[in-house]
Amino acid sequence: MARLLAPLGPMMMIVSPMARTCETAAPLAAAWGAEPRIEPRVGEIPSPTPDLKARGQWLREVAGRVWPELDQPLRDWRARVLAALAEVANDTVVVTHYIAINAAAGAATGDDRVVNFRPDYCSITVLRHTGNALALVRRGNEGATRVL
């Protein structure tokens, strides 16, 4: 990601507070001499349990559904992700998570499935904010990423 994006910047960076996204963003931030802004609203989908095995089972179930079927806290989480993206005024790199990327891509294409494509690790999905909506410019590379 850093190798591909470094020539395009520097630009603003927004990063989920999770360690793995901060680690992913670090080489690009170093190349640009930039400090990413930590944005909790683009963080990981909230899980009802800290137990990894139970979380994996829960996430597999959620991944096969559509947003209107999910409970209000998860729909609220999606709305917060989309609100954070809607506030972006300039070209910005957002380093976030699988379900958050799907939430944004789905909103941009009118696809209510929680998982509407399978972004590979460090793939780059390009979205454009057009007035009051997101538009998908380019989906990131898809991979064999498994949901836990």
- Please provide the DSSP assignment of 18-53 as one string: SHHHHHHHHHHHHHHT--PEE-GGGSPPPPS-S-HH
Q: Considering the chain, what is the average pLDDT of its residues?
A: 93
The domain locations on the chain are: 6-138
Residue-level pLDDT at 145: 56
pLDDT in tens, 89-113: 899 999 999 999 999 999 999 999 9
Tokens 């007035």: give the residue: 131
**How many whole angstroms separate alpha carbon 91 and alpha carbon 126?**
10
Give me the CATH topology for the region 6-138.
Answer: Rossmann fold (3.40.50)
pLDDT of residue 7: 95
Residues in Cβ contact with 77 at an 8 Å cutoff, skipping those fewer than 6 apart? 45, 46
In 27-79, beta strands by DSSP E:
37-38
Q: Whole-model pTM? A: 0.92
